[in-house]
């Protein structure tokens, strides 16, 4: 059972909030942009509860469900790590905004599309967290960002594993995978499921969201061509998943047309 191996791997490399040196936070280095980034991260990570709900309802596979339980714990840890840092610098997160994230997602057009969406979200956050960790000068927040980034890379790897198995068993779901890739990489902006499905919630008005972080990332952190690098990385992962050349939007559309023919 793959989740059994994943559990043992995570247990060996897992970091703990208790090991974060909270008493070394450099308040003199905290900038308003860091607070905005951390609040936005809290809102993105708050969706792990809703996502677990959806996964466990949509999939009846025990192995994947066991992985989801491990994944959900790590995502909740990210949420609590960012909130602990914010509390330490006297920044408030609105509880009503966090609570609004509890509503479960609707299932994807196919189970493989759901997995594909999560591959994209993990790769996106991994990329952004890693870059922000290098940009942030406050060392404790930078460390949290780096640890979370590493976790997200591992999560993407496991979602790819389960998507590959699902696609082998259900090749008819290939068009939904290609369609998902096109939806999230077909525009010159960062798209994330939390932003796509929950940005219009009333409780989020006048509050930071995950899209706030992505906009700030592109404006203040990203190098020239950073979005292209992120999208190329996502397409490479989907090329490995599908065995197809999906290295550009045009190629994604062509593969999708062929799969639907």
pLDDT at 182 over 90: yes
Domain contains 137:
yes
Q: SS3 letters for the chain?
A: CHHHHHHHHHHHHCCCHHHCCHHHCCHHHCCHHHHHHHHHHHHHHCCHHHHHHHHHHHCCCHHHHHHHHHHHHHHHHHHHHHHHHHHHCCCCCCHHHHHHCCCCCCCCCCHHHHHHHHHHHHHHHHHHHHHHHHHCCCHHHHHHHHHHHHHHHHHHHHHHHHHHHHHHHCHHHHHHHHHHHHHHHCCCCCCCHHHHHHCCCHHHCCCCCHHHHHHHHHHHHCCCCHHHHHHHHHHHHHHHHHCCCCCCHHHHHHHHHHHHC
pLDDT, tens digit (0-9, with 9 covering 90-100), for 23-51: 999 999 999 999 999 999 999 999 999 99
Domain contains 19:
no
For the chain, the domain total comes to: 1
pLDDT at 180 over 90: yes
Identify the band that residue 111 occupies on the pLDDT scale cut at 50, 70 and 90. very high
The CATH number assigned to the domain holding 119 equals 1.10.620.20
pLDDT at position 247 is 95
Domain contains 51:
yes
Domain contains 81:
yes
Identify the band that residue 198 occupies on the pLDDT scale cut at 50, 70 and 90. confident
Domain contains 22:
no
| Of residues 197 and 64, more confidently modeled | 64
Domain contains 21:
no
Domain contains 8:
yes
Mean pLDDT (whole number) for 104-110: 85
pLDDT at 195 over 80: no
pLDDT, tens digit (0-9, with 9 covering 90-100), for 123-145: 999 999 999 999 999 999 999 99
pLDDT at position 191 is 86
**pTM > 0.75:** yes
Domain contains 61:
yes
Range of the domain at 53: 2-13+28-260
């Amino acid at each position: 059972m793959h989740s059994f191996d994943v559990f043992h791997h995570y247990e060996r490399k897992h970091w703990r909030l208790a090991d974060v040196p909270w008493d070394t936070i450099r308040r003199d280095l905290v900038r308003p942009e860091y607070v905005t980034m951390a609040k936005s991260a809290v809102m993105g990570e708050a969706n792990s509860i809703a996502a677990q709900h959806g996964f466990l309802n949509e999939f009846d596979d025990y192995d994947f469900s066991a992985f989801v339980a491990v994944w959900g714990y790590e995502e909740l840890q990210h949420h609590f790590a960012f909130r602990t840092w914010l509390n330490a610098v006297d920044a408030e997160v609105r509880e009503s905004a966090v609570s609004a994230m509890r509503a479960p997602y609707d299932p994807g057009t196919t189970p493989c599309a759901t997995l594909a969406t999560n591959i994209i979200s993990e790769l996106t956050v991994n990329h952004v967290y890693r870059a922000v960790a290098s940009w942030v000068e406050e060392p404790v927040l930078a460390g949290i960002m780096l640890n979370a980034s590493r976790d997200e890379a591992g999560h993407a790897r496991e979602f790819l594993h389960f998507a590959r198995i699902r696609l082998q068993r259900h090749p008819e779901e290939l068009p939904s995978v290609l369609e998902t890739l096109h939806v999230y990489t077909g525009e010159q902006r960062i798209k994330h499921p939390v932003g796509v499905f929950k940005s219009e919630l009333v409780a989020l008005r006048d509050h930071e969201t995950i899209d706030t972080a992505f906009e700030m990332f592109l404006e203040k952190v990203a190098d020239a061509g950073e979005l292209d690098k992120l999208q190329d990385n996502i397409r490479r992962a989907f090329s490995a998943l599908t065995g197809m050349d999906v290295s550009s939007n045009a190629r994604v559309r062509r593969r999708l047309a062929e799969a639907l023919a």
